[in-house]
Structure 1
Amino acid sequence: MSDTPFGFGLPPEEPEDGDKGKKNDPSGGGHGAGGPSPMNPFGFDAGGGGSDNPFAAMFGSLNPNDLGAAFQQLGQMLSYEGGPVNWDMAKQIARQTVSQGTADGTKDESVGPADRTAVEEALRLADVWLDGATSLPSGASTAVAWSRAEWVEATLPAWKQLVDPVAERVGVAMGGVLPEEMQAMAGPLLGMMRSMGGAMFGQQIGQAVGVLAGEVVGSTDIGLPLGPAGKAALLPLNVEALGKDLGVPKDEVRLYLALREAAHQRLFAHVPWLRSHLFGAVEGYARGIKVDTTKLEDVVGQFDPTHPEQLQEALQQGMFQPEDTPQQKAALARLETALALVEGWVDAVVHEAASSRLTSAGALRETLRRRRASGGPAEQTFATLIGLQLRPRRLRDAARLWASLTDARGVDGRDALWEHPDMLPTATDLDDPDGFVHREQMDFSELDKMLGEAASQDGAGKSTDGTQDGPQKAKGAQEPGDDDAADDEGGKGGSGQ
């Protein structure tokens, strides 16, 4: 547990002094032991020094000169009346986390002209290479190079869509943990707790997004379209950090990552239902998450407004439990399968485009697979906050299935499966990729035959060569149910060609 109540998992800050401390503190005051900072706005001292002073008992070793600033920030937190997450605070904390740099000491910096040009050229070349590996056209109208801070700004709207449904459940649960006859009397307290809860979520999400900004290399790293539509992006600083210890030329690392980013952009741009399908799967799973009301009741019953870190501790420990129901298990399976299919398709397409052009393609492929499978500290934070790990557990199975489909049906036939979600492989199909490919071949062969038979008839009941239909046709006409079923199947097959 962090020593700073609002540090949320960050290591305790080292004491600073002199001008250096003031320079790094946006509020103007030093934030050494006990001083307030954006990550510790009230300057709580875990040691509880100054026990003879009633203010010290409440605020630890808070510098009296900063008392007004601390109460001002507390007032801002308590006066928050927005949604379930204080996103203004989340943005502030994320940017502060980015400015502090990553664990290895790498600081964020503005993207220079040379890096910007290199990223734009890599993304343009990646699109050219992908033209022969997929039937989906380019999906990026703009190629950009982002700093970590720019990534935070660009992706916050997507995080809001992901996190708000779960955070809302906490807000509702807070109002329901007390008996009905007590809720009227406890109204002000519950209102204060909701405001504090929104602030706490904002602190946690902001810190996690800030840490994630130091790990990601583009806008689609977690398999979801986090950035604006049509904008392919790479983060040069993180691209360099990723390739530092791989023994691979920097240009090859950048180009391989550009291929992955551009492939994601094609998929999200030209499969119009995919974004809502993925975000809907996340929301569907979130609806089946229940709040641990026992833990929440303990927090409400013991809540002390002078110790808001109690809410932070509850959030850090996690108060979400997936319901053990068939519906929830099905929702999780849909989400994991959808993420795996997206990542597997990108993996297969990029490998096809890069394997004959980049000598390090195989090594880079394995590095990225392991990276996606293991996740990082920020992803673990999101798992605690929303009860969900956004990782494709079946990536290798999905990549193998897409590669088999390419061999069996070609690029066009493989990519045609994205025309409708009902045509995509299921979790069961990932268990038996060869069986799915074989079944698809048979299904499409039968559908092609049915479509050919339907096309051989004209409106007057004659075949295309002008002869009358035989007895079998007449018999078929007396069974409209069979014709309707054939039409339905034919429509489905036509959409998959």
Structure 2
Amino acid sequence: MSQYVDWSFAKTTGGRLAPAGPDVSADEAVEIVEQIRALAAQAVEPVAHTSRLRAPGEAPAPVVVDRPTWINVNADSMAAMLDPVVDKMALRQKRPPGPIAQAIGGKVTGAEAGGLFAFLSTKVLGQYDLAPGGTPSLLLVAPNLVATERELGVDPRDFRFWVCLHEETHRVQFTAVPWLREHVIAEAQSLATELVPDPDSLGERLQQIVQEIPRAFSGEGAGIADVFATPAQRERLAEITAVMSLLEGHADVVMDDVGPVHVPSVEEIRRKFDVRRKGAGSVDKILRRLLGLEAKMRQYKDGAAFVRSVQETVGVDGFNAIWSSPETLPRAREITDPQTWVRRIHG
């Protein structure tokens, strides 16, 4: 696999490029990590009560990490996720690259991946790492929590607990629903494999990407994945996006439902955080568009509206029928028309 991406070099590059976190003393850092860890544990019961889902006892506990550790974990997961994609690329090659080309190519793509990880490592507050082929875990990125709460000017304890509620919901989703993790991994790997262009069409696809870049500046461009996708693949991508919208929206609904009792300043946090999600600077917005991250921002809004509408119609227990099997997950058109899902599942 190193002939395509040198993941060790990606980790090293990402770690070097990732900006240092906010200024805190050694004692403050210890206190912050201990509090985040304690708040993550406190989030378990209110999330279980509100969602009516409970993580099994053997589910791994949340882990508080820094930016370099987040990069290392995600590089390993990305490598495992892309294994079948790389296998497909290798089979399509008419002539395998020589040793020198492998070394250079792997380093170049590793550096590019490292740069991307460095950028994302400053954005992610928490993440449930699916860890294909490994042990999944919930990551809480301490420097990003501190940087964001300072940027927003909100109560640190309330903000940290609010984020823990969101991320604990993801831990519950993927551990209380036994089939969900493997389903999401399989769907993502399958689509990624399909998105790899044939060698004969690679030049045309690259030209399309170049044409997309100016459109990103105007806000009209699509993400890179959309450029590579055929119409049929875009439909599959829309179905996967619907599932991700469900997961993110459900986590947002749970965190806000728990919030009024456990997070006194939840309304202020939500208002300020929604503004932050839009992206502050023009460069940041352009990168979000090119990487498809703006579509992810829409997932929270569409998914939360879907969850609210379904729960208002059939209650939390009726909504939880969604976790029965892959067939009960929402389809792309149902995310924006929740009652269609209700009629399909509940009649």
Contact map agreement 2:125 2:141 (CA 8 A) in 1: yes
Whole-angstrom distance in 1 between the partners of 2:86 and 2:63: 32
- Which residue of 60, 64, 71 corresponds with 1:145? 64
* Secondary structure of 2:43's aligned partner: helix
* Secondary structure of 1:391's aligned partner: helix
Corresponding position of 1:127? 44
Whole-angstrom distance in 2 between the partners of 1:358 and 1:371: 19
How large is the RMSD of aligned CA atoms in angstroms? 3.8
- Which residue of 219, 230, 236 corresponds with 2:127? 219
- Which residue of 269, 273, 277 corresponds with 2:175? 269
Note the 1:338-349 alignment, pairs <5 A: 338-349=243-254
Note the 1:68-467 alignment, pairs <5 A: 82=2, 84-98=4-18, 100-101=19-20, 112-138=29-55, 140-166=59-85, 175-176=93-94, 190-220=98-128, 225=130, 229=135, 231-291=137-197, 293=199, 321-326=227-232, 328-368=233-273, 380=287, 391=296, 393-437=298-342, 440-441=345-346, 443=347
Contact map agreement 1:337 1:392 (CA 8 A) in 2: no
Whole-angstrom distance in 2 between the partners of 1:379 and 1:243: 24
Contact map agreement 1:147 1:236 (CA 8 A) in 2: yes
* Secondary structure of 2:263's aligned partner: coil
Distance 1:111 1:383, change over 3 A: farther
Whole-angstrom distance in 1 between the partners of 2:113 and 2:99: 21
Contact map agreement 1:138 1:262 (CA 8 A) in 2: no
C-alpha displacement of 1:400: 1.6
- Aligned residue type for 1:149: P
- Aligned residue type for 2:156: K
C-alpha displacement of 1:338: 1.3
Distance 1:323 1:258, change over 3 A: closer
Give TM-score, length-normalised by structure 1: 0.56
Distance 1:425 1:369, change over 3 A: farther
C-alpha displacement of 1:108: 12
Contact map agreement 1:256 1:361 (CA 8 A) in 2: yes
* Secondary structure of 1:219's aligned partner: strand
Distance 1:281 1:390, change over 3 A: farther
Whole-angstrom distance in 1 between the partners of 2:98 and 2:231: 31
C-alpha displacement of 1:341: 0.9
Distance 1:439 1:319, change over 3 A: closer
Give TM-score, length-normalised by structure 2: 0.77
- Aligned residue type for 1:209: F
CA deviation profile, 1:42-95 (whole Å, cap 9, x unmatched):
xxxxxxxxxxxxxxxxxxxxxxxxxxxxxxxxxxxxxxx745321121122122
Corresponding position of 1:15? none
Corresponding position of 2:220? none
* Secondary structure of 2:79's aligned partner: helix
Contact map agreement 1:348 1:403 (CA 8 A) in 2: yes
C-alpha displacement of 1:439: 5.2
* Secondary structure of 2:152's aligned partner: coil
- Aligned residue type for 1:142: A
* Secondary structure of 1:258's aligned partner: helix
Whole-angstrom distance in 1 between the partners of 2:113 and 2:87: 14
C-alpha displacement of 1:381: 8.5
Corresponding position of 1:33? none
Contact map agreement 1:134 1:411 (CA 8 A) in 2: yes
Percent identity over paired residues: 22
- Aligned residue type for 1:116: V
Runs of 4+ in 1 over 6 A off after TM superposition: 105-111, 294-298, 387-390
Whole-angstrom distance in 2 between the partners of 1:225 and 1:217: 16
- Aligned residue type for 1:159: M
Contact map agreement 1:296 1:319 (CA 8 A) in 2: no
CA deviation profile, 1:342-401 (whole Å, cap 9, x unmatched):
1011111111111344243234335555656669959948966xx998726443222122
C-alpha displacement of 1:420: 0.5
Contact map agreement 2:126 2:141 (CA 8 A) in 1: yes
* Secondary structure of 1:279's aligned partner: helix
Larger Rg: 1
Distance 1:423 1:291, change over 3 A: closer
C-alpha displacement of 1:425: 1.7
Distance 1:96 1:129, change over 3 A: same
Distance 1:243 1:226, change over 3 A: farther
* Secondary structure of 2:130's aligned partner: coil
C-alpha displacement of 1:253: 0.7
Whole-angstrom distance in 2 between the partners of 1:379 and 1:288: 26
More helix by share: 2
CA deviation profile, 1:442-476 (whole Å, cap 9, x unmatched):
x2xxxxxxxxxxxxxxxxxxxxxxxxxxxxxxxxx
Q: Structure 1: give runs of 5+ residues left out of the alignment.
A: 1-80, 177-182, 299-317, 444-497
Q: Structure 2: give runs of 5+ residues left out of the alignment.
A: 205-223
